[in-house]
């Protein structure tokens, strides 16, 4: 699974781990974990987090690193998570 780095208007950066996709739902941007093997948000998807869309400046997908000599895992480190 990938993660998303979300930059907010106040300059903070939030990491949304365990999400495969996101979409706008009314005034919120919602991040989803999709069912195994699925590439779309559908009835099998699980909501992971929501952030008020008006607070979002940028969303960047962060792919997990491949296992290597230095480290294993996704970067950057989680800063925090605001659930709505």
- Top pLDDT among 63 and 4 is at 4
Q: What is the reported pLDDT for 52?
A: 97
Tokens 């987090």 belong to which residue?
49
Q: What is the reported pLDDT for 56?
A: 97
Q: What is the reported pLDDT for 14?
A: 95
Q: Mean per-residue pLDDT for 24-44?
A: 89
Q: What is the reported pLDDT for 82?
A: 52
Rounded Cα distance between 77 and 9, Å, is: 20
> What percent of the chain lies above the pLDDT cut of 70?
75
Q: Which positions ≥6 away from 19 have C-beta within 8 Å?
A: 1, 2, 3, 4, 31, 32, 33, 48, 49
Report whether pLDDT(65) > 70.
Answer: no
Tell which residue, 63, 76, 40, 15, has the closest CA to residue 5. Answer: 15
Q: Mean per-residue pLDDT for 62-71?
A: 64
């Amino acid at each position: 699974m990938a993660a998303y780095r979300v930059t907010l208007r106040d300059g903070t950066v939030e990491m949304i781990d365990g999400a495969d996709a996101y979409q706008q739902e009314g005034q919120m941007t919602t991040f989803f974990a999709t069912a195994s093997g699925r590439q779309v948000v559908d009835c099998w998807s699980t909501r992971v987090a929501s952030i008020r869309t008006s607070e979002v400046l940028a969303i960047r997908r962060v792919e997990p690193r491949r296992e290597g000599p230095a480290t294993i895992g996704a970067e950057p480190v989680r800063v925090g998570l605001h659930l709505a």
